[in-house]
Structure 1
Amino acid sequence: MNTASTSSGPPAIPLNQQNDTIVQIVSPVPVPPPLPPRWKPKIVSPPVLPLPPRWKPPSYLPDGPNLPRSGLFNDRWRYIAVGVSLYEAATKGDWKAAKPILDEHPDVIRFAITENYDTLLHIAASAESTNAVEEFVTKLVQLMESEDLELQNQNYNTALSLAAAAGNVKTAMIMVEKNPGLPEIPGNNRAMPLYTAALFEKPLMVRYLYDYMRRRGNYMSDDNHRSVLEKCIEADIFDVAIKIIEDRPELTYKKELLSDILITLAQKTDAFEGTKLNVVLRILMDVYAPYLFSLLHYTC
């Protein structure tokens, strides 16, 4: 009987016929801590401050012209019957034609009768100066209140400014007697009536207005005096130019004014002829005297 031979060595380990299941133990993944909340800037609302008061121009810088009423423009037939008829009467100085209309419509003296917002007084003041027109203005002003004469057209001109441009001295005197403050109300481009008269070369009006303002205290600024002085020299109104220099000698201390006066005189080819020469020389002496005296003071 054959017997199995065994080899030398350690005894054989019996095999387990069942498959062993290998269980893998997974270690837990560490969870990171939660992120901090996203930073947001703290918005601080500014304190609510009250709005500053609305800027208002001073009395000498109005928001707009002191316009008359515009009711006549709402009715075409009424405008033709009233406005056009009064316009024609004012240009001719026809008080007989104007009076019945004014009796029926007394408030029309405060209404505009042109598209430029001219009143009846504006038209009469700028019309050719005749006895009839002056009488028309006299009777019209008697029907008006003092503040009615301060009404302006769309160009900021009062009736006095238009009279100054036209050189109607008698008309201006009638209005100023009713409202003494009219010469101090500026018109178009902030021009005073005195400057307007000098600009349009109306010597009689310039003399009247300047003498009137001298008596009133002459509250014009240095710039206004300077402008009037230059225009008076341009218009050969030398007597008023000399008065301005005598009344406001401080104007001669400004080099710009001296240059402007010399340029103005140099452009006048007839300024150094005949009797004008003495007047021009006097102006130059009045203007340059302070500089001559100061020069002599430092040289002596």
Structure 2
Amino acid sequence: MAVSADAAVVELLDSSNYVDWSVWVKTYLLAQDLWDVVEQDEEEEEEESDDNFKAWREKNATALHTIQISCGREASSLIRNTSSAKRAWDTLAENFKPKPFLPSAGYDKSLYKPLFDAVSRGDWNEAKEFLTLHPDAIRARHPYSTNTALYMATELEHEHIVEELVQLMFEEDLEITDNDGWTALAVAAQRGNIKMVECMVGKSKKILGITTNQNLTPILLASIYDQWDVVHYLYSVTPIEDLMPEKGPYGAGLIYYFITGRKFGMARELIRCCPQLVLTKDHYGVIPIEAFRPSAFPSGTRLKFWQQWIYDS
């Protein structure tokens, strides 16, 4: 289906692309200062003054329209009668967000079926017995989902199994990705599970820089999904040189999310290390300075303003 010229996405939402679609739309809404109406509890609307409610209503309509024109036929039918951007977003997440893979009886007759079954149940003792007999199974892929046991345990948030599997793995085993380029670390970061994130990074620092097919690193995924405990940790262990412009758009993207997430101290710190990041394009072609709203700048003094903002004590 053709994408509208003013759509926020390169593909309309369907049953196969929710993860990427939600990142695209959220990033667009953040850039347009519209994401807060998607996050806001509807009960809060009634407490606002008439002027504030009018402003909210306009933003809600714009955000809802953005979501609507970014949907395919099936998705559109689910939110056709919805007047709230938040309800529309939640409805689409409920219907299209991938569910953790749960094997059913008879799904797999391969050698590694006992391992995947044990991991899905959270039974580490059985999984360990199998891995003792078949150590190579630790990097085997499920024949249907094509994901490893570690990826499955991460999705299901079986923290104890994740910790045990990581201990048995070589560093390169943690670099295995799914079909969309997501490592198990990317999943843990997106879910905000700091315990699993620390466990994996403790084994391998290289996985910090592995990007998804959408060119997103684990710290950017955590930022997009407002998992700030994870962001703080990943930022503390990420080499600063990996965020410089010559290494790609990752530092610029991180500054943008710091600013829109109101993590101004972290934004200042990174900009002080490399001021040119403010004018460097991120993975979506956006420069971080655009995160500053026009109302924050006196006319004709945008550059002077952010320079002062950075160096103010």
Q: TM-score range by the shorter chain?
A: 0.5 to 0.7
Q: Which amino acid aligns with 2:131?
A: L
For the Cα contact (< 8 Å) 1:86–1:120, is it kept in 2? no
1:102 corresponds, among 119, 123, 131, to: 131
1:189-228 CA-partner distances (Å, limit 9, x unpaired)? 1111111110111001111111111xx3431343211111
CA distance in 2, matches of 1:80, 1:139: 18
SS in 1 for 2:179: coil
Task: Indicate yes or no: 2:145 matched with 1:116.
Answer: yes
Task: Indicate yes or no: 2:177 matched with 1:152.
Answer: yes
Report what 1:261 is aligned to.
Answer: 291
Of all paired residues, the percent bearing the same amino acid is 27
Aligned length: 193
1:150-191 CA-partner distances (Å, limit 9, x unpaired)? 111101111111111111122111111211211011123111
Report what 2:242 is aligned to.
Answer: 219
For the Cα contact (< 8 Å) 1:157–1:187, is it kept in 2? yes
CA distance in 1, matches of 2:262, 2:307: 19
CA distance in 1, matches of 2:223, 2:147: 23
Q: Which amino acid aligns with 2:264?
A: F
Q: Please identify, of 254-263 and 233-242, the stretch whose mean Cα deviation from structure 2 is larger.
A: 254-263
CA distance in 2, matches of 1:291, 1:120: 45
For the Cα contact (< 8 Å) 2:279–2:289, is it kept in 1? no
Supply the RMSD in Å over aligned alpha carbons. Answer: 3.3
Give the TM-score, by structure 2 length. Answer: 0.54
CA distance in 1, matches of 2:179, 2:137: 18
| Structure 2: runs of 5 or more not aligned | 1-106, 297-302
Task: Indicate yes or no: 2:217 matched with 1:192.
Answer: yes
Q: Which amino acid aligns with 2:147?
A: D
For the Cα contact (< 8 Å) 1:203–1:237, is it kept in 2? no
Q: CA deviation at 1:117?
A: 1.9
Q: Please identify, of 162-171 and 114-123, the stretch whose mean Cα deviation from structure 2 is larger.
A: 114-123
Report what 1:169 is aligned to.
Answer: 194
1:186–1:254: structure 2 CA closer, same or farther, 3 Å change rule?
closer
Aligned ranges 1:1-300 → 2 under 5 Å: 76-78=108-110, 81-82=113-114, 84-89=116-121, 92=122, 94-113=123-142, 115-128=144-157, 133-213=158-238, 216-222=239-245, 223-252=249-278, 257=287, 259-263=289-293, 287-289=306-308
- Name segments (4+ residues, structure 1) moved above 4 Å: 253-256
CA distance in 2, matches of 1:225, 1:243: 12
Give the TM-score, by structure 1 length. Answer: 0.56
CA distance in 1, matches of 2:254, 2:221: 9
1:184–1:98: structure 2 CA closer, same or farther, 3 Å change rule?
same
1:220–1:291: structure 2 CA closer, same or farther, 3 Å change rule?
closer
Q: Which amino acid aligns with 1:151?
A: I
For the Cα contact (< 8 Å) 2:142–2:148, is it kept in 1? yes
CA distance in 2, matches of 1:290, 1:166: 32
Q: Please identify, of 243-252 and 135-144, the stretch whose mean Cα deviation from structure 2 is larger.
A: 243-252
For the Cα contact (< 8 Å) 1:245–1:287, is it kept in 2? no
CA distance in 1, matches of 2:161, 2:305: 44
SS in 2 for 1:78: coil
CA distance in 2, matches of 1:203, 1:177: 19
Which is helix-richer, 1 or 2? 2
SS in 2 for 1:190: coil
Q: Which amino acid aligns with 1:243?
A: E
SS in 2 for 1:77: coil
Q: Which amino acid aligns with 2:120?
A: E
CA distance in 2, matches of 1:96, 1:127: 17
For the Cα contact (< 8 Å) 2:268–2:310, is it kept in 1? no
